[in-house]
Amino acid sequence: MKKRALALISAAVTLITAFSGCNFEIITEETTLPDVITEGHLDNETTYYSLETEAREETTAAAETTSEEITTQDLNTEAEEETTEEQGEIIGYTEKGFVITKKDGITYVDGVLVANKTYSLPEDYNPGSLLPECEKAFFEMKSAAAKEGLNLWNASGFRSYELQSRLYKRYSERDGKEAADRYSARPGHSEHQTGLAIDLNTITSAFANTKEGKWVAENCHKYGFILRYPKEKEAQTGYMYEAWHIRYVGIETAGKIYNSGLCLEEYYGITSCYEDTAENEEPVASVTEAQQMTSAAADIPQEQPTETAAAVQVG
């Protein structure tokens, strides 16, 4: 009995000791944990939080950059969609990256209506007269020139597809098609059909040396016009030099083209070549000024050129 009592007491002591040890371990962990975090792993913990913060900042910065890029892309997309809506379907880009659109058979490059040997107009495109913005700009330019004692007049403005067809037929029969192509546009390729082109004053090469001609060359861009067929640019424009032929493109665009020293085709990176003519073929037909100006008249009624009074009505 005594031995049994001693065994029970020994077992009880063992259990109490074990239980006390377990509590001690738990208490030790609870009391030392703050010391471990503060002393043993402070650097690692700080580094962890630092890296986490940096990662969060980088993610935020990347998100902001992406947001800005998306916003820019959205703006560009919206601009292209607006262009598409206003000037039709995007059909390509020029070699200089300008967008080319087409609507109702009319071609636009960077929003500017283009009519040359490469890009034609529909036969039924007929605004009937100069477009309002062109006419307004011309009268502003005419008024500015008048203040300097100069006289500008519209010798030939809008011209229909039908009239251009008759003019070109006459010139090609008289001088030959190859020669006529250097100074007269085929029907559907005339700038005059756009309602944005004007032939000034006498429509002769002599105009370039007049006070008016010199003033126009230096100042027409201020009113939104460009000299459409500059000197020594026949290979690019497809037409002989015409000091009297101006084309309305808007003040901003006209200024850019003027300051670039380029013709419209060079500026936009487009061609002006009929499909049945080799793009790099040099003109071989000789056209004298007498031939070119046989039908010229000093004062053609504005916007109503007659067949007998039509001169080198290019564009």
What domains can be seen in the chain, in order of their start residue? Answer: 124-292 (3.30.1380.10)
Q: Of the given ranges (10-14, 54-58, 190-194, 298-302), which has the lowest mean pLDDT?
A: 298-302
pLDDT value, residue 99: 97
pLDDT confidence bin for 307, thresholds 50/70/90: very low
Taking the C-alpha atoms of residue 114 and residue 205, their distance in angstroms, rounded to an integer, is 25
- Is the pLDDT assigned to residue 35 strictly greater than 60? no
pLDDT attached to residue 277: 73
Cα dihedral value 173, 175, 180, 186, nearest 10 = 0
In the 8-state DSSP scheme, what is residue 40? I
The answer, as to whether pTM is greater than 0.75, is no
User: Pick the residue with more confidence: 135 or 299?
Assistant: 135
Q: Residues in the chain, how many?
A: 315
User: How far apart, in whole angstroms, are the C-alpha atoms of residue 313 and residue 315?
Assistant: 7
pLDDT tens digits, 56-103: 555 555 555 444 544 445 544 554 555 556 768 999 999 999 999 999
Question: Residue range 132-155: average pLDDT?
Answer: 98
Query: Residue 6 pLDDT > 80, yes or no?
Result: no
Contact 99, 80 (CB under 8 A): yes
Residue 51, pLDDT above cutoff 90: no
Confidence of residue 247 (pLDDT cuts 50, 70, 90): very high
Mean pLDDT for 107-113 is 97
Given a cut of 80, whether residue 169 has pLDDT beyond it is: yes
Q: Which residues are part of the catalytic machinery?
A: 242
- Give yes or no for residue 202 having a pLDDT over 60: yes
pLDDT for 118 equals 98
